[in-house]
Amino acid sequence: MTSEPTRTEATEAGDDGPVSQTLARVSRLHRLSGGRLLRPTGLCSGQEFLMMTLWKEGSVRQSELAKTLDLDPSTVTLMLRRLEQGGHVVRMRDPQDRRVMLVRASAESYALRPEVAQVWARLEEYTLDGLDDEEREAFARILSKIEKNLSSTDDG
Amino acid sequence: MTSEPTRTEATEAGDDGPVSQTLARVSRLHRLSGGRLLRPTGLCSGQEFLMMTLWKEGSVRQSELAKTLDLDPSTVTLMLRRLEQGGHVVRMRDPQDRRVMLVRASAESYALRPEVAQVWARLEEYTLDGLDDEEREAFARILSKIEKNLSSTDDG
DNA sequence: GCGAGTTCATTGGTCGGCCAATGAACTCGC
DNA sequence: GCGAGTTCATTGGCCGACCAATGAACTCGC
């Protein structure tokens, strides 16, 4: 039973498994894998992004953070609340502009930085295992193109 | 006047911008884009996967569905509850084995099938816009490899 | 036939993500 | 100086997705 028996016309372009489908599946696996590796650090999948940004940038406004991470402001608010509760970030009202919240990584959080970096390196190797340099380069390049394609969606 | 380097090109290369990061961003954009296109159909991002499976397979057990979609059973339960409430699926206890739930697409749901197919085709083109055949082939191939890499994560 | 184990679905809890709407604070025009 | 508009963060509602634990139903061993 190697070939599908009931293959009615279906789509005009190749198989029923488009790239989109694979991409979705891969991304879920990737996220899951990352979350698992991240577990010992106490962070959840997605939070490490935020922390890495803070570690790198220092003190940033919340709105900047949302823009950098390309996330909805409400998402950032919730994530920060949890991270604050966990003692990973510190939030403060900007005295100059009382609307904005200034966020920075807590002193203790810096202990996690190398761990997170290692996790990411491991995940990266895990993901790209068995791919030669050429493939990696091609993948990065194509991914970048696709990102541009999809980014131009919501121009307004 | 805080020191703020030109932010716009910071995402390009140089710093610790691994593939993982881009992949995560791309997948979010992809999902978002899909959700937007899917909106007119009344389905949410992720549900179309499930419906496509049902349309193709007919009546399936819920556990089978979870395995096929590679989702947690609890996720499937919730999704199905909502889809059932929306009239898109029909659930029934298997009389032979009263543990299992048999799920199938509702008759009305079939009206959505071509719409969803079109949305997916559009998303596919959108995603891969500007890529030549060679790049598409390479991307699909590499993605497939990566999927295999990440799938072998949870064996132990 | 009855108890141990397994399979299956559900529930409850948590998190990431979105949108829409609200309200607080600042900016600008007049 | 005051009102209109904008920016910023938060809230509430919703969905996808995970894990852990529970309970119902079946299977198998004895």
Query: Tens digits of per-residue pLDDT, A108-120?
Result: 999 999 999 999 9
Mutation to test the B interface, candidates A53, A59, A123, A139, most B Cβ within 10 Å: A139
Q: Name the residue among B83, B81, B57, B82 with its Cα closest to residue B69.
A: B57
Residues A126, B153: C-beta atoms closer than 8 Å? yes
Q: How far is the CA of A130 from the C1' of C19 (A)?
A: 41
Distance, in Å, from the CA atom of A32 to the CA atom of A35, rounded to the nearest integer, reads: 5
Instruction: Give the model's pLDDT for residue A18.
Output: 80
Highest mean pLDDT among A18-22, B29-33, B90-94: B90-94
What is the average pLDDT across B7-27?
Answer: 63
Q: Which of B33, B128, B150 sits opposite A26 (nearest CB)?
A: B150
- pLDDT computed for residue A19 by the predictor: 87
Determine the pLDDT at residue B153. Answer: 56
Look up residue A71 and give its two tokens.
């996330």
Between A149 and B6, the higher pLDDT residue:
A149
For chain B, positions 121-140, list CB contacts with chain A under 8 A.
121, 123-124, 126-131, 135-136, 138-140
> How far off is chain A from B71, nearest CA to CA, in Å?
10
CA distance A111 to chain B (A): 18
Whether residues A117 and B147 touch (CB distance < 8 A) is answered with no
- Whether residues A29 and B123 touch (CB distance < 8 A) is answered with no
Q: Which residue among B127, B139, B142 places its CB closest to the CB of A149?
A: B127
Alpha helices in chain A (DSSP H): 19-38, 47-57, 62-69, 73-85, 113-127, 133-151
Q: Of the candidates A91, A88, A87, which has an alpha carbon nearest to the alpha carbon of residue A77?
A: A91
- Which of B20, B124, B146 is the closest to A19 by Cβ? B124
The closest of A35, A63, A59 to A49, measured between CA atoms, is: A35
Quick check: A13 pLDDT over 70?
no
**Reduced DSSP (H G I as helix, E B as strand, rest coil) percent helix, strand, coil of chain B, to 5:** 65, 10, 30
How do residues A91-103 score in pLDDT, each as one tens digit? 999 999 999 999 9
Please report the DSSP string for B66-130 in residue order.
Answer: HHHHT--HHHHHHHHHHHHHTTSEEEEE-SSSTT-EEEEE-TGGGGGHHHHHHHHHHHHHHHTTT
What mean pLDDT comes out for the span A125-149? 93
pLDDT in tens, B39-79: 999 999 999 999 999 999 999 999 999 999 999 999 999 99
Backbone φ and ψ for B133, nearest 5 degrees, come out as -60, -40
